[in-house]
Amino acid sequence: MDAARRHRGRLLVIAPMRLEGAAVRRGLPDAIVLRSGVGADRARRAATAAASVPADAVAVAGFCGAVEQGLRPGEVVVASEVRGPEGTIRCSSEPLAAALGALGVGRVRVGPLASVDHVVRGSRRGALAAEGAVAVDMESAWLAPAAAGRPFAVLRVVLDTPDREIDEALATLTGGLVAWRALRRAASALAIWAGAQGVASARAQ
């Protein structure tokens, strides 16, 4: 029995795109996986529905764009916090990073994730990096209310970087394949994370 199954908890994972959801399901066959759709409006609606789904822990998983120099397609980003237009949401990051390490997933970057309502290109990436963000997405801040008081984590995998943006066809193709495989592998760490949250909750009672 592998580590993810030994630590299995009732876990809800929200993935914006169908492709991301497929990777998560491959890595987490026992989790509840919901697809939100791309962008802030769809994320808000999905969060409202997901808030009532019975689960012990909630996570967002999918791709992101790197804003910090040095990150490469396929590297895993664990959000320490999600920064959105309406404020900052703290995330459960250290236990998730530890779970990724236990599974042998290398080059995990823990740091702030910025959520914006549009695709970020060019100098705007540098501006977000100057504010301390390591990566950007278009959903996590609006999906966070789905946690509804439950442990919440965000796991994203770098799809494109400041030097290789998503509108470059070759970069998109090669980066997408690398990112999908990395997401499939990294997703299983969420089961270990969810199990750890259940243990922590039981001890607190």
Q: What is the mean pLDDT of residues 113-130?
A: 85
H or E element that contains 74: none
Q: What is the mean pLDDT of residues 10-21?
A: 94
Asked whether residue 133 carries a pLDDT value surpassing 50, the answer given is yes
Tokens read off for 44: 């808000």
Spatial separation of the C-alpha atoms in residues 51 and 101, rounded to whole Å:
29
Decide if 204 is inside a domain: no
The rounded Cα 99 to chain-centroid distance in angstroms is 14
Instruction: Give per-residue pLDDT as tens, 46-89.
Output: 999 999 999 989 999 999 999 999 999 999 999 999 999 989 99
In sequence order, the β-bridge partners of residue 17 are none
Instruction: Give per-residue pLDDT as tens, 164-193.
Output: 666 544 445 566 788 999 999 999 999 999
Spatial separation of the C-alpha atoms in residues 134 and 51, rounded to whole Å:
27
The rounded Cα 29 to chain-centroid distance in angstroms is 17
Decide if 79 is inside a domain: yes
Decide if 205 is inside a domain: no
Decide if 203 is inside a domain: no
The domain spanning residue 92 has which CATH number?
3.40.50.1580
What is the SS3 assignment for 60? strand
Q: CB-side exposure of 1: number of CA atoms within 13 Å?
A: 6
Q: In total, how many domains does the chain have?
A: 1
Amino acid at 95: P
Range of 146's domain?
3-198
The rounded Cα 39 to chain-centroid distance in angstroms is 14
Decide if 151 is inside a domain: yes
Decide if 73 is inside a domain: yes
Asked whether residue 1 carries a pLDDT value surpassing 50, the answer given is no
Decide if 139 is inside a domain: yes
Decide if 176 is inside a domain: yes
